[in-house]
């Protein structure tokens, strides 16, 4: 079993349903991801927002109709019914193969 297949199997078993959105794309990508604990960031005027990381696999993106098969900072992701902005994207993998994306999200 290769790395991407193993990561996909783990996400399917332990991840939660999420929806990735991109402006300019007619469709969304439904996938499974894993939330990691985060913090609450002060955004001024006594307002605060959650910031946390999410790990997602590459399988659902690769199967999508999207032109670019990787998440980008201008995308958003819906987690537990709440839309979050993607602040940063970090590809994770081994030997040149990207198996996961780690997203920093806020909202």
DSSP conformation letters of 30-96: EEEEEEEEEEEEEEETTEEEEEEEEEEESHHHHHSS-SS-S--TT-EEEETTEEEEEEEEEEEEETT
* Overall domain count for the chain: 1
Q: What is the pLDDT of residues 17-51, one digit of tens each?
A: 999 999 999 999 999 999 998 877 777 777 767 89
Q: What is the pLDDT of residues 49-80, one digit of tens each?
A: 789 999 999 999 999 999 999 999 999 999 99
Q: How far apart are CA 85 and CA 71, in angstroms?
A: 12
**Rounded Cα distance, 62 and 35, in Å:** 21
Provide the CATH number for the domain around residue 7: 2.40.10
Domain range for 64:
3-106
- Rounded CA separation 2/31 (Å): 19
Cα separation of 44 and 28, whole Å? Answer: 32
d(CA 70, CA 14) in angstroms, rounded, equals 22
Question: Rounded to two decimals, what is the model's pTM?
Answer: 0.87
Beta strands 82-94 and 76-79 are antiparallel
């Amino acid at each position: 079993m290769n790395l991407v297949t193993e990561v996909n199997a783990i996400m399917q078993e332990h991840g939660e349903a999420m929806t990735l959105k991109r402006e300019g794309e007619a469709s969304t990508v439904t996938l499974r991801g894993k939330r990691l604990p985060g913090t609450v960031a002060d955004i001024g005027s006594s307002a605060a927002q959650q910031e946390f990381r999410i790990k997602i696999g590459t399988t659902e993106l690769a199967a999508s109709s999207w032109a670019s098969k990787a998440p980008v900072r201008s995308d958003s992701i819906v987690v537990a019914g709440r839309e979050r902005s993607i602040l940063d994207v970090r590809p994770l993998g081994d030997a040149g193969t990207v198996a996961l994306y780690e997203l920093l999200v806020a909202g």
